[in-house]
Amino acid sequence: MQLLQDIAPKTDWFGRRKADERPYLIAGPCSAETPDQLRATINGLVPAKPNAIRAGIWKPRTRPNTFEGVGPEGLIWLKEAVEHTGIPVMIEVASAKHVELALAAGIDMVWIGARTTVNPFMVQEIADALKGSDIPVLVKNPVNPDLDLWIGALERMHKVGIRKLAAIHRGFSGYEKTIYRNQPNWELPIELRRQAPDLMMICDPSHISGNALLVADTAQIALDLDFDGLMIETHIHPAQAWSDAAQQITPEQLIRLMEKLVHSRELTEDPVFNTQLEQLRKQIDQIDRNLLELLSQRMEVIRDIGEVKHNNDITILQPARWAQIMETRLAEADSRELEPGFVRRMLQLMHQESINAQVKVFREQRDRQPRKRS
């Protein structure tokens, strides 16, 4: 991942927050609808001091015959509505044509939507169209939880010379219905941060939540996970919004939300806290060593089980035993107040790994002593 390391901006184009500084804030409606709606929303947002204003001009919609954005005339409304504020404005681009029109209209920044990031052809087309401009480009995660696609889109932008880059985490589509519209799968942005520690990371709690009531809580989680900024959909009359009505909040609600958010910081020099943390981390280090030792012992027994099954022509998968393991462990986890979803996922991982190990044992044994067909 040589390129990804380079993506980390050498210059702080966004003025990344230092300890205690407020997060970088992008606010504005899901879609530009009318000149009045834009003006009223943006004027309402000014006291929140956003670093950038957002509005969708072309809306990627799952079904046709719904509102798909106002198109190019919205570019003029948007520029006019922000003019007296001096705040940079950003839109979503999904094709070379969008880029061309955005640049010609003097749009200050662009973002690439989740439905575009999934498609390397489209991402490349947009990158080629952006070549030579030095506006910031923010790349949303793809709809599916595929970190490589997300990184690939950032790399394509970087390859054409774009240096003002950031990633936007907006959650991932899932089959299961949960409280979220798009599952946060925080482990993906966390892994992106591990691979590109200096890349600016913005969270979009509006599209993760899908519901105005969840936005504040999701935004706070993002700050506690050390995100650099937030993109929050804001509408002067959320209930009447032409797109994403359920998740938008009013400018007043955004101002209150920003006041309430706690800006955690990554590091401190407070010796009392640091000593306390260090001691607790030593305990975790020891527990992890014990867990790994136990896992290694477990795998040894698994390989013995594989051999015994092989020698007796017994299938690797034993559905009744697997059901019993799941049931008993989940009951035990419950009595220890462990989160059942976590324990289920951990058991599934261990079970898959033990199946893999037994498949390997079977293969080795069969290679060693091929059976004669009777």
> Per CB under 6 A, which region of 16-24, 41-49, 107-115, 191-199 contacts ligand PEP?
107-115
Number of residues interacting with ligand PEP: please give it, by CB under 6 A: 9
Query: CA 221 from chain center: how many Å?
Result: 12
Q: How far is the CB of 172 from Mn ion (least distance, A)?
A: 16
Site track for Mn ion across 55-84, x = CB under 5 A? ------------------------------
Give the 3-state secondary structure of residue 30.
coil
Looking at residue 258, the DSSP 8-state letter turns out to be H
- The residue from 98, 140, 181, 235 that contacts ligand PEP (CB under 6 A) is 140
Q: Are 99 and 130 in contact (CB under 8 A)?
A: yes
Q: How far apart are CA 265 and CA 153, in angstroms?
A: 29
Q: How far is the CB of 92 from ligand PEP (least distance, A)?
A: 6
Strands 200-203, 89-92: parallel, antiparallel or unpaired by DSSP?
Answer: unpaired
Nearer to ligand PEP, 82 or 361 (CB): 82
The interface partner of residue 113, options being ligand PEP, Mn ion, none and the CB cut-off 5 to 8 Å by kind, is ligand PEP
- The residue from 30, 110, 196, 241 that contacts ligand PEP (CB under 6 A) is 30
Q: How far apart are CA 67 and CA 64, in angstroms?
A: 8
What is the sign of the dihedral through the CA atoms of 114, 117, 122 and 125? positive
Q: Which residues contact 78 (CB under 8 A, 6 or more apart)?
A: 32, 38, 53, 55, 57, 89, 91, 107
Q: Which tokens in the block code for residue 269? A: 């020099």
Q: Are 135 and 100 in contact (CB under 8 A)?
A: no
Q: How far is the CB of 91 from ligand PEP (least distance, A)?
A: 10
- The residue from 7, 25, 30, 219 that contacts Mn ion (CB under 5 A) is 30
Nearer to Mn ion, 162 or 168 (CB): 168
> Per CB under 5 A, which region of 186-194, 196-204, 239-247, 249-257 contacts Mn ion?
239-247
Which residues of the chain form contacts with ligand PEP (CB under 6 A)?
30, 56, 60, 113-115, 140, 170, 207
